[in-house]
Amino acid sequence: MFLVMGITGRIGSLVARQLLAQGKQVRALVRDRAKAIEWANQGVELIVGEWHDADAMIQALQDTDGAFIMLPPVYQPSRDFTESTVLIEAYVTALRAVPLPKLVVLSSNGAEKTSGLGAITPLSLLERALSHLPSPQAFIRAGSFYENFLHGLQTAKHGVLTVFYANTSEKSPMTATEDIGTEAVRLLTGPIWTGRRVIELGSMVSPDEVAAQLGSVLGREVRAQALPREAWVSTLEQMGFPSRQTWAFEEIYDGVNSHWIGFGVEGAERVEGTTSARDVFAAAQRGAEAER
């Protein structure tokens, strides 16, 4: 039995689906049973409770062979990241009460840093908090998601993919959520390890390469265009960010552009992604067409 957090979301559902395909038993902690009923129909054991409730977490962790742990993304966090720290405290309390044979944690490249991370900061806090626990741990530090470029299926129809990367020809870590699910399941179902592991998951890809792969799906030439730094705030507000709430997003890309956030941490294991940006764009395109 494996506990999968975030089963109603993109990444948690990928982990659960692959575990079920291997004949494994899956348990999930969910806030609303009705929203997860499709998983119950597939044999997933649902525990109803809040993620910040340590008692609910303890119940969900009991008698499991391992757990996939993640934090829900917060795109407009408070400055002290309270939205995430209350969850982290519950996780630590529960995992101290119920040590596991394996703990697989979704993190991000850059999480080894303690500042200048913006919305990645909660993952840095999570890693540091869990590192003191006795359970064997594996932190999947994923690159930026290809899925973040899916807006290009609409906005790049005129041949331009606007990006927050300063140098469109420079490669940085990127990955697909599909590969995160695959790696998490590989770790959960593979040999037991001891201590703490860090896995840098993804490939080095440039925005120019992403744009070219998008173009191959759209059937036209697409080029990446860097958005000037001074235009970030107004652009993000046009995208729906409230006024003065763009700082956490800005800080991430400032970190990437300055090479503060990236791969190459000493002692980390490197796992190349097998899903390309083109694969992600093509799958999304097929899904959109099927819904028409």
- CATH of residue 32: 3.40.50.720
* CA–CA gap between residue 290 and residue 292 (Å, rounded): 6
In terms of residue numbers, what domain contains 94? 2-291
pLDDT string in tens for the chain (292-residue length): 999 999 999 999 999 999 999 999 999 999 999 999 999 999 999 999 999 999 999 999 999 999 999 999 888 889 999 999 999 999 999 999 999 999 999 999 999 999 999 999 999 999 999 998 999 999 999 999 999 999 999 888 889 999 999 999 999 999 999 999 999 999 999 999 999 999 999 999 999 999 999 999 999 999 999 999 999 999 999 888 888 889 999 999 999 999 999 999 999 999 999 999 999 999 998 887 777 6
* CA–CA gap between residue 123 and residue 134 (Å, rounded): 19
Domain count, the chain: 1
Q: Which residues contact 12 (CB under 8 A, 6 or more apart)?
A: 4, 5, 6, 28, 68, 70
pLDDT for 292 = 66
* CA–CA gap between residue 281 and residue 93 (Å, rounded): 40
pLDDT for 157 = 81
Q: At what angle do helices 54-61 and 82-97 cross, to 10 degrees?
A: 40
